[in-house]
Amino acid sequence: MNGPRAFPALAAVTTVVRATPALIGLLDAHDPLAFIRNGDGIAGLGVALRLEFSGPSRVQDAADAWRLVVAAATVVDPVSVAGTGLVAFGSFAFADESNAVSVLVVPSTIIGRRGDVSWVTRIGDVAPEPTSLGTAFPVAFSPGGQSRPGYVDAVASAVSSIIAGTARKIVVARDLVARIPDDADLRLPITALAAAYPDTFTFAVDGLLGSSPETLVRARRGVVSARVLAGSAARGTDPTSDARAAAALAASPKDLAEHAFALRSVLESLGPRSLGLVANAQPFPLQLRNIWHLASDVTGALTDGSSALDLVAAMHPTAAVAGDPTDAALELIDQLEPFDRGRYAGPVGWVDANGDGEWAIALRCAQVSPAAGGVRTVTAYAGAGIVEASDPARELAETELKFSPIVDAFA
């Protein structure tokens, strides 16, 4: 978006309703819009406003545009919980030079639930009606721009660059592709993700679907928080081996070093904007269905009036998805990955009229293309953080673990 722009005067009215049915059942089958965790969250229908951005300033441009949208809007929100009032869903490309468009989407209708509170926000004329899920569709993923041997070679090259002193950490990703019918019901994989990974953020924004365990940033009433994930290990096959895997991860010098880079980048980004910023003294093992992650929680008080989108602009990309130092890592990623990441590893979430919001990093995800010729392309992504001690074969195995949520969801 270039230059000043006038925005329509949106009117958003939120009302409390009786307990809603499962939010996913209310979504558009072919263009779902949602951000849900443990059954709570928000779902959108229709489009009252869509804004597109690109280039190096895409997130800050979105933050500035959103302030103008809010200034022109009328918001009636007696409910005043996270996700009520005027809300935009957003998804941003990972790289400055990406061909993928970054978007903010204000739905015509937003349906939400937090604990015992359910609500509807109406901005347009779309009324939600739950519909039955469609029939299952066959999906077969195959390598995309990066083959398995090619990924092993890319990781080995990344390790060589680290040994040579070019960078300290590089996140290297690979991709898988599949094709689905253009009328496939995308609520099916979303339902599978939400059921299998309830503690993660299950999201759907402009064809980007996934379940991310990583909170990029959350802003709510002057408090900022984030959850940093870096360092991974496969779950054990029984309670004893599982506990052993978690303990080994928590003591792994390689994984602790990888995590330290990611945590430092978040603290450095949020530090100038917050007071009393604190993090765990030591990262803790976070248990997901098929993997352990090293995790650290960060919390502080916002001091400069930043909106959630301002914080996203300051933080992206973190070392958890790019590397350290950032500029060197991004340059190496461009050399090592023979594909455009699109919105993979970019910010995905929502922002409200107060500037509060919740943003995850788009991981365990796939981008579904618009229909063309009766089919839609699904491109899934997974990556691993590479440090000097990384073993290419083990990093390939880690990407297989990280692919499994999205591959299983489409199965």
Q: Match 């080995």 to its residue by tokens.
A: 156
388 flagged as catalytic: no
Q: What number of CA atoms fall less than 13 Å from residue 254's CA on the CB side?
A: 15
Q: Residue 205 to residues 33, 184, 310, 384, 397: CA-CA distances in angstroms?
A: 5, 16, 20, 24, 28
In the set 52, 214, 258, 395, the catalytic residue is 214
List of E strands, 213-272: 215-220, 223-234
Q: How far apart are CA 156 and CA 278, in angstroms?
A: 36
List of E strands, 30-161: 33-37, 40-45, 49-53, 74-76, 87-91, 102-106, 109-114, 117-122, 142-143
169 flagged as catalytic: yes
DSSP symbol at 23: G
Instruction: Pull the structure tokens for residue 397.
Output: 């195995």
Mapping DSSP to helix (H, G, I), strand (E, B) and coil, where does residue 125 land? Answer: coil
Instruction: Pull the structure tokens for residue 206.
Output: 């402009």
In the set 97, 169, 258, 331, the catalytic residue is 169
**Cβ count within 10 A of residue 285:** 18
Catalytic center residues:
169, 214
